[in-house]
Every structure is written in C-alpha cells, then in structure tokens.
Structure 1
Amino acid sequence: MAELIATCVWSASPDLLVAVHDHLGPPAHAYDNGSQAWLRDDGPDGVPVEWRLHPRPDLARPGRLSGYHLFPAVAGALARGEDPALDPTTVWCGLEAVPAFDDDVEPDTLAAHLGTILGWDPDAWGPLDRDELARRWERSHGDLDVVAWAVAHLRAA
C-alpha cells in the first residue's frame, strides 16, 4: 500500500520567488539541476519541513551559474528589484513542502500553517504518494514537471 504524505505545492512565479527569498532565506542545499532545498523546523508544532524549489525539466542553466549561485542570481535579484540573470519563468516550475521525516500532519493543517509562513497559500495540498512521484521522475530521466504532476494528482484526489 502506498504511503501518502501531506504535501503542499505552489506554482512558480516571480512573486512566489520573492516570497521564498524573503521568508525562507538562502537555501541550505542547491543542486546542479537547479533544485534548491531548505530544511526548517517551522512546521505545525515544530515539525521539520523540507521545502524544495523544483527546476523546470527544460532548464538550460548557463554554465557560469552553479546550483548555489542560481537562487541568489534569480530570486535575490527579484527581491532587490533588479533584473535577474535568467528569466525566472524558465528556471523553476514550483515549490513543494512536506514534513521532512514523514511526520503525520494533516494536509489542511500543513497548508494553513505553511501558507502563513510564506505569506502565500499553496496552489494545491493533500496526501501524495511521494514514492510514486520519485519513480515517475526517475523514469522520465528528469523530464517531468514535478509540481504540475503533484498539482494534478492532489486536485484529482
């Protein structure tokens, strides 16, 4: 039987990136594929939450920008009112947040709590089979819009 985990997702936009920059700060981890991650103890009742900004499957990152330089070059510039190094709509497909260690949190509680922290309500939330999501992403060889897939499955549930 699939293990369903409370999941919240936000579709990417310049305004969302500024909210992430302002409320979460610099990512704890960045990856060469463009993924950015935060691990914070800001969930309901202090539950650790993993926040992950997912790259677009077709991201063509310039070689001069490492994964660690991508977020400041794009989201940081937007937050400062500057033109970013890359068009933000070509970089990330959206943000996902889940209890980091599969803690049992009600999806509605998680969505309300994280929406307050970010100052931005999620586009979709609910229980999601994250193992299935990971399998689909791996089978696609990274060519899956993780957030669009999650939104479609959360709204269908």
Structure 2
Amino acid sequence: MIRDYQAIARTWFPKGQQRIIPTYGKHQGIKLLGTLDYESGEIFVIESDRYDAEVFLSFLQQILLKYPGERIVIILDNARIHHANLLQPFLKSNKDRLTLVFLPPYSPNLNLIEEFWGWLKHSCIYNVFYHSTNEIRQRIQRFVAQINQMPLKVIDRLCCSL
C-alpha cells in the first residue's frame, strides 16, 4: 500500500533548513499487487481499490493469463488473504501450473518483491509531495514502465541481492 501522506526518508539539509513536505491529510492510498519474474527481470503490477481474497484471486488469474502454458511459482508472505478458503478451488484446479510458496513469518528480506516495493517508495514517494493519489498513481506507472525497460538492472538490484 502506498499511502497518500508523504514520508520523509533519509536526506540531508543544512542545519536549521529542514525540508518541509506538505500533506493534505486525507489518509487514502494506492493498493498494489506485484510480481517479479526473476528470469526476465519483468515487474508486473496491478492496482486495486481494496486488498482482499477476491482481488488476490483475480491477480492470480491475471498471472496465469500473462504466462500461458508456463509453470509458475509465487513466493508469498503469510497474509491471511493468501490462505483464504476462496482461493482453494482455484489453486486445486491449477495445481499443475501454479504453486504458492509461503515464507517464514517476519522474513520480508527473503521476498524479492519486497525489495522492489522499497525501491519504488525510495524512487517515487519519499521526500516528495503529490497533490492527489492520481499523481502518485501516474508516477508509479512511469517508474514501473521505466524499470521494465532495463531488466538487467532489475535482476542485478533485486535478484542478486540474496
């Protein structure tokens, strides 16, 4: 989730001249789901109004369509929606193509997409004021498009970090 209230990350400024990042105080956000194809370096991101089992099921369906005929393994954290009963019939009917692997609790350092979310926030969100969630959305879309133009950089930055 990318919140619409901006965050100040590590930065420097002359003593007494702290950078002020305004906010408009509407605690909205952009909910993103994404995958990293570690072989090609491609990032696939979708946005949703909510983040629940139905949205996650739709995301999995889109992944299967994106990679027709391929065997897919998705590494996940243990969020409740990743284990929802709603998913079970879909997972059972696609067990030959789709495998979900769950990481141990509290181990985001093992999930490469978490590294991507940090890269995205560092590049697009921190220390910047956006007037609307639409501006944030457009910036995120540009960032994903830009990094998908340089898959080797993505692989070097995310996949070689383990």
Please give the TM-score of this superposition, normalised by the length of structure 1. 0.27
Q: Point out the structure with max Rg over C-alpha.
A: 2
Q: Which has the higher strand share?
A: 1
Instruction: Tell me: higher relative CO, structure 1 or 2? Use CA pairs within 8 A at least 6 residues apart.
Output: 1
